[in-house]
Amino acid sequence: MHKKLIITIDGPAGSGKTTIAKLISNKLKIAYLDTGAMYRGVAFALNKMGWSGNKEKIKSFLQDIRFDLVYKEGGSLLRMNGNVLGDEIRTEEVGLMASNIAKLQIVRKYLTKVQRRIARDVSLVAEGRDMGSVVFPNADFKFFLDASPEIRAKRRVEQLRELGISVNYQDILEELQKRDIQDSTRAISPLRPAEDAIKIDTSNLTLSQVLDKIMWYVKGHS
Ligand code: DC
């Protein structure tokens, strides 16, 4: 593939976007950008330094962080200040913290700029909440994945258990619904499909069915 290609995958937690974005990245041999991990990394670091909501502090904190994406065939490594973001950011607690700081204009503005800079010279598949609607409005292909809250919660429980994090289904379902409301009702860049996004309900589809659907569009129209 020679022409630079940007594919966006948006959707709520547990819609399957992370797994699908990684599969597309492997199949097309293009980089994979997990923008949720950026919000999680910022939230995790702010929490660690005991941030209390002070806007000036967040400004100087953002000035000091650097993100970079290292792409090698077979995997993309997202680093914050030179460190790969690992499993410590994957808990539901950090997810909720990320959703809280994702409401702030200063954070969104900063991360949007970083995401566009990362995509400037490479082809990539970017996943998040506002990839197709705000960050990459001219993306070549935009997808929006969704599934019922119960199915998404079940998937999250399985993912977290695979990481060795023991969780309760009912807690996860409630946290996920809380995060859905917060992400889709915030004033700036709310979770919402871009007008030209292809919407896929993954509730009753296997991963390979979702992947086939997406690849059908990408192969057929590129
Ligand atoms: O995809 P995720 O669950 O790792 O994302 C964590 C939170 O980060 C999510 O609840 C909202 C926020 N987020 C966002 O606001 N915009 C993005 N592009 C990606 C994530």
CB atoms within 10 A of CB 148: 13
What pLDDT score does 121 carry? 86
Q: Do the Cβ atoms of 17 and 156 come closer than 8 Å? A: no
The 8-class DSSP code of residue 188 comes to S
Continuous H helices in the chain: 17-28, 35-48, 55-63, 92-101, 105-119, 149-162, 169-185, 207-221
- Check pocket membership of 98 for ligand 1, CB cut-off 6 A: yes
Categorise residue 82: left if φ over 0, alpha if ψ from -120 to 50, beta otherwise: left
Task: Give the pLDDT confidence score for residue 109 in this predicted structure.
Answer: 96
130 lines ligand 1 (CB under 6 A): yes
Which mutation among 20, 32, 39, 124 tests ligand 1's pocket best, with the greatest number of atoms within 8 A of CB?
A: 39
pLDDT of residue 221: 64
Residue 128 in contact with ligand 1 by CB distance below 6 A: yes
Q: Is the CB of 92 under 6 A from ligand 1?
A: no
| CA neighbor of 38 nearest in space, from 70, 68, 60 | 68
DSSP code of 161? Answer: H
Report the separation in Å between the CA atom of 2 and the middle of ligand 1, taken as the mean of its atom positions.
Answer: 30
Instruction: Supply φ then ψ for residue 56, to 5 degrees.
Output: -65, -40
Return the percent helix, strand and coil in the chain, to nearest 5. 50, 15, 30
Burial class of residue 94 in the structure, from the number of CB atoms within 10 Å of its CB (0-12 exposed, 13-18 middle, 19+ buried): middle
| CB 102 near ligand 1, within 6 Å | yes
Q: Which domains does the chain have, with CATH numbers?
A: 6-209 (3.40.50.300)
Residue nearest to atom 9 of ligand 1 (CA): 99
Ligand 1 centroid from CA 183, angstroms: 8
The closest of 1, 33, 3 to 18, measured between CA atoms, is 33
* Residue 87 DSSP symbol: G
Distance CA 107, CA 166 (A): 30
- Measured distance CA(188)–CA(182) in Å, rounded: 11
- pLDDT computed for residue 53 by the predictor: 83
Nearest Cα to 7, choosing from 72, 28, 16, 121?
28
**How many whole angstroms from 202 Cα to the centroid of ligand 1?**
19
Work out the widest C-alpha separation in the chain, in whole angstroms: 50
Task: Give the CB-side neighbour count of residue 57, counting CA atoms within 13 A.
Answer: 10
* 99 C-alpha to ligand 1 centroid (Å): 6
**pLDDT truncated to tens, each residue of the chain (222 aa)?**
468 899 999 999 889 999 999 999 999 999 999 999 999 999 999 999 998 888 888 999 999 999 999 998 778 999 999 999 988 999 889 999 999 999 999 999 999 999 999 999 899 999 999 999 999 999 999 999 999 999 999 999 998 898 888 899 999 999 999 999 999 999 998 999 999 999 999 999 999 999 999 999 998 765
Question: Would you say the CB of residue 13 lies under 6 angstroms from ligand 1?
Answer: yes
Query: Ligand 1 centre from 38 Cα, in Å?
Result: 8
Q: What is the pLDDT of residue 137?
A: 97
Asked if residue 39 has its Cβ within 6 Å of ligand 1, the reply is yes
Question: Which pLDDT belongs to residue 222?
Answer: 58
Ligand 1 midpoint to CA 100 (Å): 10
Q: Are strands 141-146 and 198-201 parallel, antiparallel or unpaired?
A: parallel
